Amino acid sequence: MSEGGLNILNLIISNRDDIIYVLALLFSIGIGWHYRKIKDIGSKETFGNILGILIIVLVSGFHAAHIFLSFAISAGIILLHKYVQISHIITSVFMFLYLLFFRSVHYFGLPSPPGHTNLIQMILTLKLIGLAFQAKDASRKLKKATKEELENIPYYEKELAEINITRIFGYSFNYVGVLTGPYMTYRTYRDPFVVNYSSKKNGDRYCNEATMEKFKSIPIFLALYLFVSYLWPIGGIFKDEFYTEKSILYRLWYVWPVFFIFRMRMYIGLTLSECVCAAAGVGMYPKQWTPTPGKGPTTEVNKKPTDDDEYDFETIRNNDVYTTETCWSFRQAMKSWNMCVQYWLVMVVYKRFPIRKIRTAATLLVSAYWHGVNPGYYFCIFAAPFYVAIEDICLKRVSKFFPEKNPLWVNVATWFFKFFAFSYMGIAFQLMTFPKIWNFYNSVFHFGYILWALQLVLALGWPMISKSLNGKSRKEKINIPTADSRKKET
């Protein structure tokens, strides 16, 4: 075999898990047309569950036992939600503790699960915790409702209040979203069975068009991922010569391609998962209901759709790639990233956390913990709100000079600093362990942190600096004689 053939073979072997993962997603997209055409609800649920279990076993092998064990225990706790007041809290604690055990099994002499099994466990954690809260909320609502109010309560809330093991199993293991999400509420999962908007007039057209519209960006992401990975492989940051032979400027610059590769990889996975949903008709709602990522419809939820309605799939949109890449500010880019998970964090953690003053810190801690136990996640996620605050202060100062609209050079500078911040923080996501992270940041003399500190000092102190400069300028104008004044003196 030629050297080129060996390189290709080695590339395939080294990326075996990724190839299986992508093939599973592509198969899930292809089967979507058949899935949404199944009219019998029971048959459709069974088909979706069998397919979901097969995908889990295919990707995870015997490691799938973690998935089923954590599900069985959590499902048992959720079923007790009418009798145990804090069942939702117990479910949350158990699932997060199991997530810790799942990622630490090597300390117990057990083999570590593959990365894609970790993704399945992560999504299952969000689903079961979210379901526990939804079931608790629904049962409380129905308990307080009058007879008249009961008639207007949506079907999915009634099902949540009387949740059973079949419904929990279906929600957890339906093939749509089982690999990388997106996170969806119980209602988003159930509507394709009960209401099935994809069966309405032009439903097929909306599903097919949405699938193709999302999928057509995949080749672009893939080409960019392969091209940049070939020129500047992520593995370079783990080699000793990167720190001994490369200059500090090169190491600082290298964070850009590393984060670019990371973004393209995320875009591919999350966009493929959106295609799975669109092909299956999941997350499809009338535009007039103003659906949002994760939540679904926000207005007119009781109005019956008509054949003339337009539909979209905003409910299952993970990323707004265009906004993330082109928006000027770090804050706006953050809001456009992994939006369904952000919805879960807001609804389950932020809005429910009892101590208002530390809600943001608690939400960030949960987000970092959900991503993993390695220090890299905490370095990255906890740095983000500090940079957002710095950016807000800087832009507030700039707005005083340009009250109507920032000039293009200001926006471009904001965009540049936005992606440098993402890239500088994101390097910790790749290096993971504290020694490797600290080694890199030491090798660039913690340039990013120093730069942000200087930005903050300059922004906070600018009113005093400006006042001082203006005062000095006026003083110089007074003391320096002009030509006219000298003539008058003469």
Supply the residues annotated as catalytic.
Answer: 338, 371
Q: 437 Cβ partners below 8 Å, 6+ apart?
A: 375, 376, 379, 427, 428, 431
Contact 388, 360 (CB under 8 A): no
Residues 366, 100: Cα–Cα separation, whole Å? 12
DSSP result, 88-131: HHHHHHHHHHHHHHHHTGGGGTPPPPPHHHHHHHHHHHHHHHHH
User: What is the C-alpha separation between 48 and 178, in angstroms, rounded?
Assistant: 10
Q: What is the torsional sign of CA 211, 217, 223, 228?
A: negative
Identify the helix (H) or strand (E) that includes residue 218: helix 218-231
**What does the alpha-carbon distance between residue 232 and residue 258 come to, in Å, rounded to a whole number?**
8
Cα separation, 328 vs 415, in Å, equals 5
Report the alpha-carbon angle 79-84-89, nearest 5: 85
Do residues 256 and 428 lie in contact, with contact meaning Cβ atoms separated by under 8 Å? no
Cα–Cα distance between 124 and 183 in angstroms, integer?
Answer: 9
Tokens of residue 305, six digits: 């759709």
Report the DSSP beta bridge partners of residue 277.
none
Q: What is each CA distance from 4 to 1, 18, 200, 213, 223, in whole angstroms?
A: 8, 21, 52, 35, 19
| Three-class secondary structure of residue 377 per DSSP | helix
State the Cα–Cα distance between residues 197 and 313, nearest whole angstrom.
11
Residue 195, token pair as written in the block: 């209401």
Supply the DSSP string of 237-299, one letter for each residue: GGSTHHHHTS-HHHHHHHHHHHHHHHHHHHHHHHHHHHHHHHHHTTT-EEGGG--BTTTB--S
